[in-house]
Structure 1
Amino acid sequence: MNKQKILLEPILPATKQEIQQLILGLLTPEEGVSLKIGNEKVYLPPSLCELLIQAAEIMADGKAVSLLPVSQTLSIEEAANFLNVSKSFLSKLLEEGKIPYSKMGVKKQINLSDLMAYKKQRDAERRELMIELAQFSQEEELHEKNINS
């Protein structure tokens, strides 16, 4: 079983109280955590604690969680689901060169790292547009107040 090629099934949410206990009682992201499993002691570094806390918080909200390595390649359908767009819209982005891809036979494969980079850029552009829209709205509001005064 090649872990690089498998999309993990979502971890279904447990009860909110159980997850909150996990977050509050077990994990300290600043220092990491030492666990004893059987006779073996295992250290979880701060970065892994933070990942577990984030996953637990998402699960506490009743959402499922999937964990993928950054080196994972995704199909068109998986990538479209990741971006929450249609397959045809994603195909257009690929053909326009906005997201790199490779071909495996006739099927297109997208690296998760490339998808994450695109999403980060898209989200930053959206935030900037929202800021501009908010500023424009405030300016229009001031302009209307001046006209009505």
Structure 2
Amino acid sequence: MNAVSLPQALPDSESARLAHASAGELSRLLAAKPQADRAHIRMDGHDLVLPRQALTLLRDLLAEMAQGNAVTVVPTHAELTTQEAANLLNVSRPYLVKLLEEGRLPHTRVGTHRRVCYQDLLAYKQEQDQRSQAALDELARQAQELGLGY
């Protein structure tokens, strides 16, 4: 599998509707059978056995499609180009390179090209999200303390 499997297109309205119904049904099945570690599926005369992790991933994928989103699948051990990493963080490539050069985000070099481990990128994003949430919480606390009506 490539490091990144790029989506072909946004789901059309019929695909989104079908994904919504399927995600709901799969969520109900997973909730009704919390101890089940696999599912047996019959498709076109073939029997498949899927692990629970694949079912939860499929449910999440369907939920995104139901909202009209395209989905990208990235293995956790993947190494991303700087452009792929910048896209996932929703920042410019030059800004991402600056983060790499400042040592704020680990990376390796393959010849003259930089590569970012997907797991490191997720850890960085999670840390940034936590810092942002803490700042928002502090601002809300201050607004309430000052009686600003928030």
TM range (shorter): 0.7 to 0.9
- Runs (5+) with no aligned partner, structure 1: 145-149
- Residue 120 of structure 1: which of 115, 123, 126 is its match? 126
**One of 99, 103, 126 as aligned partner of 1:97:** 103
Q: Whole-Å Cα distance in 2 between the matches of residues 133 and 140 of structure 1?
A: 11
- Give the unaligned 5+ runs of structure 2: none
Query: Alpha carbons of 1:26 and 1:121: their partners in 2 closer, same or farther (altered >3 Å)?
Result: closer
The root-mean-square deviation of aligned C-alpha atoms, in Å, is: 2.0
Whether the 8 Å contact between 1:11 and 1:66 is mirrored in structure 2 is no
1:60 to 48, 59, 66: 66
Separation in 2, partners of 1:44, 1:125:
37
| RCO higher in structure (CA 8 A, sep ≥6) | 2
Select 1:8's aligned residue among 5, 8, 12.
5
1:123 maps to amino acid:
D
Match of 1:76 in 2: 82
Cα displacement string for residues 97-124 of structure 1 (whole angstroms, at most 9, x for unaligned residues): 1110001111100011110110011111
Give CA-to-partner distance per residue, 1:78-107, whole Å, 9 cap, x none: 100000011111111111111100011111
Q: Match for 1:9: what amino acid?
A: L
Q: Which residue of 2 aligns with 1:132?
A: 138
Q: How far apart are the structure 1 equivalents of 2:6 and 2:85?
A: 15
Greater C-alpha Rg = 1
Structure 2 contact 3–80 (Cα < 8 Å) conserved: no
Partner secondary structure for residue 141 of structure 1: coil
Residue deviations 1:35-69 (CA, integer Å, cap 9, x gap): 02355422223222111111111111111001110
Name the counterpart of 1:87. 93
> TM-score of the superposition, structure 2-length normalised?
0.83
% same residue: 31
- What's the TM-score once normalised by structure 1's chain length? 0.84
Between the aligned partners of 2:26 and 2:105, the Cα distance in structure 1 is: 40
